[in-house]
């Protein structure tokens, strides 16, 4: 493993790694003081943050803001890594292609129609992946709004008041919307209801499963920027 990959795995966080990845990472850390220090720093930061969050009763809005900025940073980090690897992979492909003469004789025609179809398929695919992921956890797969999955940035576990909660994150420009799926046995939800601050809105919505609530937060005034746009006049 090289240091770039090692840093990417460290940034991902240990809980996200497979046992194999964790083992390879540990081997690298044992022989690489620079990466070991980076991992140590991140761990210290994570546990300090966790301690701080658990020790003090934080006003809900502040807690939410902390989560929001932590999420945004992590998302930006991850995206940068992914772009770096995509660029690296492309460079390797080009190098391999250049050195392999046969490539030029058999090179495919660039088909923009096929590419457009693929983009569409990926959008549908993303929605299906999220639905499958929810179904796999016996969670309701029908979200309370018709989100535009081209804006979907992340789905996985997110932290909400110190608990791991499934969350789907959408981003539109600098704004984000998050859909948490909260089990009633995880939180006292009786008092949960719509809330709004200058920073955004929180909606609590019922799902098809009476034991699961949707908690939808968004940094915009209305949820619309994250939803599929319909042409005016089109029946909806
Ligand atoms: Zn290293």
Give yes or no for a contact between 113 and 46, defined as CB atoms under 8 angstroms apart.
no
Q: Quote the ligand 1 centre to 13 CA distance (angstroms).
A: 16
Q: Quote the ligand 1 centre to 64 CA distance (angstroms).
A: 34
Q: Quote the ligand 1 centre to 14 CA distance (angstroms).
A: 16
Whole-model pTM over 0.85: no
Q: Quote the ligand 1 centre to 36 CA distance (angstroms).
A: 7
Straight-line distance from the first to the last Cα atom of the chain, in angstroms, rounded to the nearest whole number: 51
pLDDT at 236: 41
The token pair at 124 is 């549908």
pLDDT at 234: 46
- Cα–Cα dist 141/161, whole Å: 23
- Cα–Cα dist 231/41, whole Å: 50
Which is nearest to 49 in space by CA: 36, 63, 34?
63
Q: Quote the ligand 1 centre to 3 CA distance (angstroms).
A: 4
Tell me if residue 137 falls in helix, strand or coil. coil
Q: What is residue 109's DSSP assignment?
A: P
Q: What is residue 210's DSSP assignment?
A: T
pLDDT at 81: 66
The token pair at 219 is 């940094």
pLDDT at 214: 92
Collect all residues with Cβ–Cβ distance below 8 Å to 203 and sequence separation of at least 6: 144, 194, 214, 215, 216, 217, 223
CA angle 49, 55, 60 (to 5 degrees): 80
Q: Quote the ligand 1 centre to 1 CA distance (angstroms).
A: 8
Q: How many CA atoms lie within 13 A of 77 on its CB side?
A: 14
Q: Quote the ligand 1 centre to 4 CA distance (angstroms).
A: 7
pLDDT at 206: 87
The token pair at 70 is 């932590």
Q: Quote the ligand 1 centre to 9 CA distance (angstroms).
A: 11
Q: Quote the ligand 1 centre to 27 CA distance (angstroms).
A: 10
User: pLDDT tens string for the chain (236 positions)?
Assistant: 888 888 888 877 777 788 888 899 999 999 999 889 888 877 776 666 666 555 555 556 665 666 666 666 666 666 666 666 666 666 555 555 555 555 556 667 777 777 777 767 766 788 888 999 999 999 999 999 999 998 888 889 888 878 889 999 998 888 889 999 988 887 776 666 677 776 788 888 889 998 898 989 888 888 999 998 765 554 44
The token pair at 37 is 């220090």
- Cα–Cα dist 220/200, whole Å: 6
């Amino acid at each position: 493993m090289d240091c770039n990959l090692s840093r990417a795995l460290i940034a991902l966080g240990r809980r996200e790694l497979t046992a194999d990845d964790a083992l390879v990472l540990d081997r690298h850390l044992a022989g690489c003081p620079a990466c070991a220090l980076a991992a140590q720093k991140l761990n210290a930061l994570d546990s300090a943050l966790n301690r701080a969050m658990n020790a003090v009763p934080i006003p809900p809005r502040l807690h939410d803001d902390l989560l929001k900025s932590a999420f945004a940073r992590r998302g930006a980090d991850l995206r940068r890594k992914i772009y770096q690897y995509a660029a690296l992979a492309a460079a390797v492909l080009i190098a391999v292609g250049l050195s392999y003469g046969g490539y030029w004789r058999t090179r495919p025609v660039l088909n923009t129609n096929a590419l457009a179809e693929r983009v569409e398929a990926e959008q549908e695919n993303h929605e299906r992946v999220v639905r499958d992921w929810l179904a796999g956890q016996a969670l309701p797969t029908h979200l309370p709004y018709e989100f535009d999955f081209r804006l979907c940035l992340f789905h996985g576990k997110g932290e909400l008041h110190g608990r791991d909660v499934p969350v789907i994150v959408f981003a539109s420009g600098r704004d984000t919307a998050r859909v948490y799926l909260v089990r009633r046995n995880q939180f006292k939800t009786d008092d949960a209801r719509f809330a709004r601050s200058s920073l955004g809105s929180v909606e609590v919505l019922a799902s098809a499963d009476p034991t699961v609530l949707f908690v939808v937060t968004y940094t915009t005034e209305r949820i619309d920027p994250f939803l599929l746009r319909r042409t005016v006049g089109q029946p909806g």
